[in-house]
Chain A
Amino acid sequence: MLGMGLRPCKGADGCVCSVVNEVNTEPKSRKQMPKTSYSKPEVGSTGKTGSWRVFDPVIDYDECSRCRTCWMFCPEACIDLDEDDTPHIDLDYCKGCGICAEECPKKCISMVRKGSKKEEQD
């Protein structure tokens, strides 16, 4: 069968998602395939979806009030929170929808076009 190990995700501290496959290989022969098509939960099941993005979210941490709004509305669940609720956007997976920037009450998230001058400055 697929050789799978269960171990905590390599995400931010405090994240308690329990099931991630480190060794979930794509089978190369029928012997490596199970008889039936069941799948296991995994972060990045469609790959590094951050590659879809055209605009990067950039948080101004001086203005950020740690209110959790961006975290609450993120459709991708790719914002991790520190102990003090400081948000960190996982750019490996963020698809750049811009909802966090739109909903932030302090308007302290900007969507910066990839490869733009502003990005170079940061």
Chain B
Amino acid sequence: MVTAKEMPQREYVLKGNASCAGCQDMVALRHALKALEGDVIQVVPACCTSVVQSLWPKECLDVPVLNTAFMAAAATASGVKAALKVKGRDSTQVMVWAGDGGTFDIGIQALSGAFERRTDILYVCYNNQVYSNTGTQRSGATPLYAQTSTTWHGKTEPEKLFDLIVAAHEPVYQATANAAYPRDLYDKFRKARDIRGPKFIHIFVPCPQAWNYPVEKGVEIGKLAVETGYWILWERVGDKFELSPTSKRYQDPAKRKPIEEFLEMQGRFSRLFKPTRDEKRLAEFRVFVQHRWDVTLKTLA
């Protein structure tokens, strides 16, 4: 794994932008762009990243950025890629940087089409499990019992197992990542960079606004997601699946930290603990965690 000392210093996310203090999307984007060395055209549908760029005539990303409509990211990227091919600049990476809304819900059709056409793009979904930009409404990625502004008493359905949907399109490269593990994230982007064909990276990104936690805990919460087994770090090159080193030990439920450690830190799960601990719902949450492990390993490994 790349060491902190080896990571390049050049920044493509420029300081003084409109992102919230502690925004984990920016952490992920910083390292993604470092890995790609800025030789990228970034396609951004409506999401937080559209807004953190700041106001015309200024913006904060030192790479070409094409903002596009909410459901259109993968289609726009297909067009960009086609143009690059015609112009003979095919080595430039076309990267979609979309939130969970623009990927799981409104953007799923375009993503599915682009992947079925074997379009050579890198589709990145940074997942803060909510429609954050519009004020934290629920999305298809919102977990069970999470409070959002359209599920005040907690969402009653679990999140979509989106990685399976992407895997069904048989991308050439697919991985999960986490803003709390930037070196792992960097390596995955480096690897993706050198593979041609449809690629998908799914990044877990805590959001202090939507999840309601003390802003300095952003990295800790990201790490707890992995340490409780809730978020699984893995990588799939073609059909060769590999659990990332950090997640390997958590395959064993006995090694996982109790899920409460992850949930208690976030205000969006406060109803699971106040006024009383909801043991039934906590149990369901644990079942989901194991379910995701089972399905992931059975289908993808």
CB neighbours (8 Å) of B60 from chain A are 41-42, 45-46
The yes or no answer to A115 lying at the interface (CB within 8 A) is: no
CB neighbours (8 Å) of A44 from chain B are 14-16
B55 → chain A, closest Cβ, in Å?
8
A42/B14 contact (C-beta < 8 A), A2-B57, A14-B9 known: yes
Within 8 A of B (CB), among A34-84: 37-49, 52-53, 67-69, 71-78, 81
A97/B215 contact (C-beta < 8 A), A15-B11, A39-B53, A75-B24 known: yes
- The interface bits of chain A over 91-122 (1 if a CB of B lies within 8 angstroms of the residue's CB, else 0) are 01101111101110000000100000000000
- The interface bits of chain A over 16-40 (1 if a CB of B lies within 8 angstroms of the residue's CB, else 0) are 1111010010110000000001111
Contact indicator B16/A43 (Cβ below 8 Å): yes
Where chain A touches its partner, the secondary structure class is loop
Contact indicator A93/B10 (Cβ below 8 Å): no
Which residue in A39, A43, A95 is a CB contact (below 8 Å) of B57?
A: A39
Where chain B touches its partner, the secondary structure class is loop
A97/B21 contact (C-beta < 8 A), A44-B16, A69-B4, A103-B219 known: yes
The yes or no answer to B68 lying at the interface (CB within 8 A) is: no
A13 → chain B, closest Cβ, in Å?
11
Within 8 A of A (CB), among B21-65: 21-24, 26-27, 30-31, 53-63
The yes or no answer to B7 lying at the interface (CB within 8 A) is: yes
CB neighbours (8 Å) of B19 from chain A are 75-76
Contact indicator B57/A77 (Cβ below 8 Å): no
Question: Residue of A at shortest CB range from B218?
Answer: A99
A76 → chain B, closest Cβ, in Å?
5
B52 → chain A, closest Cβ, in Å?
8
Contact indicator B16/A93 (Cβ below 8 Å): yes
- Measured between alpha carbons, how far is A68 from B8 in the docked complex, in Å? 11
CB neighbours (8 Å) of A76 from chain B are 15-17, 19, 21, 26
Minimum-distance CB pairs A-B, first 4: A98-B216, A44-B16, A97-B22, A95-B21
30 CB < 8 A contacts A-B = A15-B11, A17-B11, A17-B12, A21-B58, A24-B57, A37-B56, A37-B57, A38-B57, A39-B56, A40-B58, A41-B62, A43-B14, A45-B17, A45-B18, A45-B53, A45-B54, A46-B18, A46-B54, A49-B15, A49-B17, A68-B7, A72-B31, A72-B183, A76-B15, A76-B17, A77-B13, A77-B14, A77-B26, A81-B9, A97-B22
